[in-house]
Amino acid sequence: MNILIPDSWLREHLDTKATPKQIMDCLSLCGPSVERISKTGNDFVYDIEITSNRVDMASVYGIAREASAILPRFGIPAKLKEFKTNKPQEPKNILPMNISDPEKICNRILGIVMEVDQMKPSPVEIKTLIEKSGVRSLNNLVDITNYVMLEIGHPCHVFDYDRIKTHQFLIRFAQKNEPIITLDNKKYFLNEEDVIIDDTTGRVIDLPGIMGTENSVVNETTRRILFFIESNNPNIIRKTSMRYGIRTMAANINEKHPDVNLAKQAMEYGISLFEKLAGGKVASELIDIYPCKENIKTIEVARNFITKRLGIELSLTEISEILESLSFEISVNNDLLKINPPSFRQHDIQIPEDIVEEIARIYGYHNLPNNLMTGVIPITQKPLDLPLEEKAKTVLKFLGLTETYSYSMLSSELLKKTGLDTRNTLKISNPLTEELVYMRKSLIPQMLFNLSQNQKQKEKIAFFELSKTYIPQKDDLPVEDNYLCIGLLNQDFLHLKGILEVLLEEIGIPCVNINPSLANSFFQPEQAGEIVINNKTIGKIGNISQKLLNNFTITKNVALLELNFSNLVPFVSKNKKFLSISSHPPVLEDLALIIKPKTYIENLINTIKNINPLIKQAFLYDSFGNTRTIRIVYQNQNRTLTENDVKPIRENILQILKDKFGAQLKTSNQTTK
């Protein structure tokens, strides 16, 4: 995220004579990246990029704190001014307010009721600073909450106390499809993972940590307010904010887990601003619900550990000075450092490597030696399946197919359309959208979707995708095999089978069988098969069932195959067998056979091929009714074959086919059914 910091506001907390250009250069080398400086009137504004793990810098005071540690490393004196807040005064008039969080959803909750004069425009100096920081000025009451967030770094909120009829807050999870209308007058329907605040009557009055609601916002008649701060669950904030696309600055900060202890300081500072800018008077006890205080983890790091990773040797004194400038507490025992990070860094400083990184950046990456690597460069093996993938894609391209690319994530709706169960599918814990929730186990759902979306573009479509799938494993990482999916629109099964045979032969797998498969939810009955190589099933092929076609509103036939491409690797042979071209012509013969119903032609053809070495080819040439015309190619490398050579082979073929399949040669007086 990027924040805007006015130079004049920064210097309210940073005592230094550094120029804006020096501050920009030094911070960019050792801390947050200052992308640009803009001049606004007599002031300068820094545009600063804040990385997701450094929410402690997402404020004026946070940047001042960083600058006070970094500028002295460049010989520029800088000192952080102490930020003091006062405890609120004892209330003269006690107004009732009850806040409850029975499920302990929030890490900390603070609230106080105040009486104010009226809602009015903010003073010019306040209005100018927050607008230079990229936030629109609204009125003194709302501007105070934004001012506190921008200056200290913790979001806060103000409610109209009198519009909360019960004067009670209940923090709970929303019900499914529970409606809410936010401040920008947009309506959302929530789910059970969202956190809301209601007034104990079921009336929703806030989407905490993200945006308030229209029914409790302050207005011109407001004379009593509830100043409220909650340190919410960052995971819930992130999911809710992304789910509904409500990307406020408050949500951006809250989802990154701001310091819980900062909430108390923000509360005290906000109270003083309400007193100063809105004639505020405390009218209740300060509510502070803090059920589980966080314990800061002590990290032990040996000096030798730091030296090895930096490539230089720093003294314990210099290491301590660097860390202390960042507000770390240090104790040294021989060469072992025991380090307690400050509360505002406890979530991004967890392991010894984090300590080394802090030392390195403040010392200056530009000051570390840039020695070239020495030793033998390791030789890496090219993945075995990568050249195979490239060759397969090339073959499919020249066969007239178009490659498609799709996300690895699928929606529950798409899985449901395809008849796949989500229970045994990997679910993403923080999906970007509801369309990208489950990691795919098959390429078929997306292939059917692609065909449905393009069916009006061409009469016939041929798509393929070669990508990874993700099969969950118990107590282990998922298996990520490459799968190939081919989908043909308005083309038959035999055409798809021919594409498969050509592909496998080109990549070095000449022997493939299609075994009939009757039970498959994707395909039409008796129009599907299993792709088998050396008795190992590697995929499936067939005509898509009418139910699936209806689910995807596809109006034409779809032939589709899916196979585990990773499992092909062991069967690929790089050895090529070259035969000299025979100078003797082949003999071509067509046998029109009357076959029994449910006879699998592939088995019949394989039987013919194995009858005699002179049979070089056998394939289905034509089909009509219950007649199948098989073309057989006979050839001898050494001489031209005669009728006397072919006749006994033919007779043997017919006898074997009759005995094994009940097939008969069609005669002139027989008719086709």
Whether residue 580 is contained in a domain is answered as: no
Residue 71: pLDDT band with limits 50, 70, 90? very high
Give me the domain span that covers residue 191: 98-289
553 and 595 assigned to the same domain: no
Kindly compute the dihedral angle of the four CA atoms of residues 608, 613, 614, 619, in this order, to the nearest 10 degrees.
30
Strand partners, 468: 482
212 and 259 assigned to the same domain: yes
Amino acid letter for position 267: M
> If DSSP codes are grouped into helix, strand and coil, which group holds residue 194?
coil
The span from the first CA to the last CA of the chain, in angstroms, equals 74
- φ, ψ at 429 (rounded to 5°): -75, -30
Rg (CA), the chain: 37
pLDDT at residue 574, as a whole number: 77
Alpha helices in 419-477 (DSSP H): 444-454
Strand partners, 173: 195
Percentage of residues in the chain with pLDDT exceeding 70? 99
Q: How many separate domains does the chain show?
A: 5
102 and 208 assigned to the same domain: yes
Residue 673 has pLDDT above 80, yes or no: no
137 and 246 assigned to the same domain: yes
Residue that finishes a domain, picked among 516, 546, 571 = 571
Residue that finishes a domain, picked among 289, 316, 344 = 289
Residue 668: pLDDT band with limits 50, 70, 90? low
501 and 602 assigned to the same domain: no
pLDDT digits (tens, 9 = 90+) for 547-579: 999 999 999 999 999 999 999 888 888 777 777
Look up the CATH number of the domain holding residue 47.
Answer: 3.30.56.10
Strand partners, 515: 530
Single out the residue of 238, 210, 208 nearest to residue 226, CA to CA: 208
Whether residue 484 is contained in a domain is answered as: yes
Whether residue 372 is contained in a domain is answered as: no
Q: What gap in Å lies between CA 552 and CA 361, rounded to an integer? A: 55
pLDDT digits (tens, 9 = 90+) for 312-353: 999 999 999 999 999 999 999 888 999 999 999 999 999 999
239 contacts 193 by C-beta, under 8 angstroms: yes
- φ, ψ at 379 (rounded to 5°): -95, 120
Q: What gap in Å lies between CA 59 and CA 266, rounded to an integer? A: 12
Q: State how beta strands 336-340 and 299-302 pair.
A: antiparallel
pTM beyond 0.75: the answer is no
Of 303-307, 324-328, 429-433, 581-585, minimum mean pLDDT range = 429-433
What rounded mean pLDDT belongs to the chain? 91
Look up the CATH number of the domain holding residue 660.
Answer: 3.30.70.380
Whether residue 334 is contained in a domain is answered as: yes
72 and 104 assigned to the same domain: no
pLDDT at residue 626, as a whole number: 87
Q: State how beta strands 168-173 and 98-100 pair.
A: parallel
343 and 398 assigned to the same domain: no
Residue 429: pLDDT band with limits 50, 70, 90? confident
pLDDT digits (tens, 9 = 90+) for 136-183: 999 999 999 999 999 999 999 999 999 999 999 999 999 999 999 988
Residue 48: pLDDT band with limits 50, 70, 90? very high
